[in-house]
Amino acid sequence: MSRGGRRFRRALIPAGRRCMLAPMKDTLRIEQTGAALGARVRGVDLSRVDDPTAEALRAAWHRHQVLIVPGQSLDPAALVDFSRRFGALEASPGSAEHAAGRQGGVPPEVWIISNVRRDGRPIGALGNREAAWHSDMSYVPEPARASVLYGVEVPPAGGDTWFADMYAAYAALPDDLRRAVDGLEVHHDASTTSAGELRRGAAPVVDVTAGPGARHPAVRRHPETGRPALFLGRRRNAWVVGYPLAESDALLDRLWAHCADPRFAYAHRWTVGDVVLWDNRCVIHRRDGFDAGHRRLMLRTQVRGEPVIPWRAR
């Protein structure tokens, strides 16, 4: 474990909760979750992934969209190294906390998601409230391709992370909605997190047509699989570019109600040591709230994306 990793564990994880899990054999087994998307991966130690294993994981990720890898023991540097198998990493959305020296030895690519407080200040983002459906960092011109989330401490109940398949959501659109989204662009708001916290330096949005963020096609072509997926980003402060507000809200509400249908979803109940990796280009996710009296500490990396390619239905 690196010096930064040891410092992180000492600073953020109480001694009684630190554990080393036995290394796992590199005999990859991939089992579908049985839900709409996602697969569990066993027989791999993510702290020492070789090239053929990385290739097999990338292929499984394209096929299943979400990979769940239980039983891992990673320090933040090892999480960064593994995540780089999927591409160059973005600086974390919490890089201001990092610059302010409040990330306790965690590299700048790692975002701490936690309700834990130290010296009265939160050590991470999103607190204990529900986080609404979204696609990570969709509010920038080249949104994150993948996210990797690692469970360091998890509450006994609540805090489950839900994933929904946006290929399937697009394919199942009723005809009128499919015609409506064809060629549309949506504005993705940058002012708040998925838990509704105002981002550092952002002002509350008063006019959604002029707020900070990025515009993307509502249906995108996945650059690797070539498949069409709905790409709505997040509902809060969204706007269908060029539409009167009432029409935009009505269309977005219908689209989001469709995407949130449980038939497209897998809900992940966390165990310490789980790593979950997903593809933001074809998956949205949300998180259940949990009791503020319980600790939840997660580390997330985000893999740099590419410009969003519009899907042309005709």
CB of 313 to ligand SIN, least distance (A): 29
We find the least distance from the C-beta atom of residue 222 to ligand SIN, in angstroms, to be: 20
* Smallest distance from ligand SIN to CB 104, Å: 19
Q: Does 295 bind ligand SIN (CB under 6 A)?
A: no
Measured from the CB of residue 271, what is the shortest distance to ligand SIN in angstroms? 13
- 161 touches ligand SIN (CB under 6 A): yes
Q: How far apart, in whole angstroms, are the C-alpha atoms of residue 112 and residue 101?
A: 13
Dihedral sign, Cα of residue 106, residue 48, residue 149, residue 169: positive
d(CA 222, CA 28): 26
Smaller CB distance to ligand SIN: residue 191 or 248? Answer: 191
Q: Which of 112, 298, 303, 308 binds ligand SIN (CB under 6 A)?
A: 298
CB of 298 to ligand SIN, least distance (A): 5
Give Cα separations from 207 to 133, 199, 239, 303 (angstroms): 22, 17, 10, 31
| Spatial separation of the C-alpha atoms in residues 261 and 137, rounded to whole Å | 23
Binding mask 38-57 for ligand SIN (x = CB under 6 A): --------------------
DSSP, res 81:
H
* Sheet containing 66-69, strands listed edge to edge, beginning at the edge strand earlier in sequence: 29-32, 39-42, 66-69, 275-279, 146-153, 297-303, 111-114, 125-126
Q: Which of 95, 38, 50, 37 is nearest to 275 (CA)?
A: 38
Give kind and range of the element (H or E) at residue 220: strand 219-221
Tokens 């960064």 locate to 80
The reply on whether position 234 binds ligand SIN by CB under 6 A is no
Site for ligand SIN in 194-213 (CB under 6 A): 194
150 or 311, CB closer to ligand SIN?
A: 150
Instruction: Fill in the amino acid letter for 289.
Output: G
Closest CB to ligand SIN among residues 264, 311: 264
Would you say 43 or 70 has its CB closer to ligand SIN?
A: 70
Q: Which of 184, 290, 300, 305 binds ligand SIN (CB under 6 A)?
A: 300
- Kindly state the smallest distance separating residue 270's Cβ from ligand SIN, in Å: 8
Binding site for ligand SIN (CB under 6 A): 113, 126, 131, 136, 147, 149, 161, 194, 285, 287, 298, 300
